[in-house]
């Protein structure tokens, strides 16, 4: 179990060293991987459906967790939206809440989305 992980990490390091050359090793704030490519796929309605996109993003989230890296802003909310699109409303809601916890800056917008999910009566009473 240890060996493939170490080998993979070594591979990443070598790749990074090759790209960076003699410059300083960048330490990004977030674990991006294929997130923006997934966003693009979604925006252009690419060949992969929401189920496949969820699978890719969950794998990325797992990898970020194992590396101790933070997920980018919007990642959890985007995942939540994919869950909603596949009819898994509760999982969608949980991910909107997770976005809010990770990034309190998203609170207003996440609350707006959550209120809409609770139906028109809630948003009417909010007025």
Partner 1 sequence: MLRLAASTSLAAMLGACATPTPYDYTAFKQNRPVSMLVLPPVNDSPDVKASRAVLAQSTLPLAEAGYYVLPVTLVDETFRQNGLTEAAEIQQVSAAKLREIFGADAAVYIRVKKYGTTYMVIASETVVSVEGRIVDLRTGQLLWQGSAQASSAENDGGNQAGLVGLLVKALVTQIVGTATDAGFTYAAVANQRLLGAPMRNGVLYGPRSPHYLKD
- Beta-bridged to residue 36, according to DSSP, are none
100 near partner 1, rule: CB under 8 A? no
5 near partner 1, rule: CB under 8 A? no
Q: How far apart are CA 98 and CA 110, in angstroms?
A: 10
Using DSSP's 3-state secondary structure scheme, residue 6 falls into helix
92 near partner 1, rule: CB under 8 A? no
Q: Which of residues 52-91 bind partner 1 (CB under 8 A)?
A: 72-75, 77-78, 81
* Count, residues in the chain: 127
42-48 — which CB contacts under 8 Å span 24+ positions? 42/78, 42/82
Segment contacting partner 1 by CB under 8 A, of 3-11, 30-38, 55-63, 119-127 = 30-38
Q: How far apart are CA 47 and CA 73, in angstroms?
A: 25
| Among the listed residues 9, 37, 63, 65, the single contact to partner 1 using CB under 8 A | 37
Q: How far apart are CA 111 and CA 115, in angstroms?
A: 6
Cβ closest to partner 1, residue 15 vs residue 89: 15
| Among the listed residues 8, 20, 58, 89, the single contact to partner 1 using CB under 8 A | 20
Binding site for partner 1 (CB under 8 A): 15-16, 19-20, 23-24, 26-30, 32, 35-37, 39-40, 42-44, 72-75, 77-78, 81, 99, 103, 105-109, 112-113
């Amino acid at each position: 179990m240890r060996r493939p992980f170490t080998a993979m990490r070594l591979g990443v390091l070598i790749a990074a060293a090759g790209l960076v050359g003699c410059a300083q090793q960048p330490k990004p704030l977030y674990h991006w991987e294929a997130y923006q490519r997934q966003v693009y796929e979604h925006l252009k309605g690419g060949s992969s459906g929401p189920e496949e996109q969820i699978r890719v993003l969950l794998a990325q989230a797992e990898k970020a967790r194992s590396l101790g890296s933070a997920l980018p802003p919007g990642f959890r909310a985007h995942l939540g939206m994919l869950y909603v699109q596949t009819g898994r409303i509760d999982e969608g809601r949980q991910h909107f809440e997770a976005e809010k916890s990770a990034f309190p800056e998203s609170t207003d917008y996440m609350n707006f989305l959550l209120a809409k999910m609770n139906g028109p009566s809630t948003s009417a009473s909010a007025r």
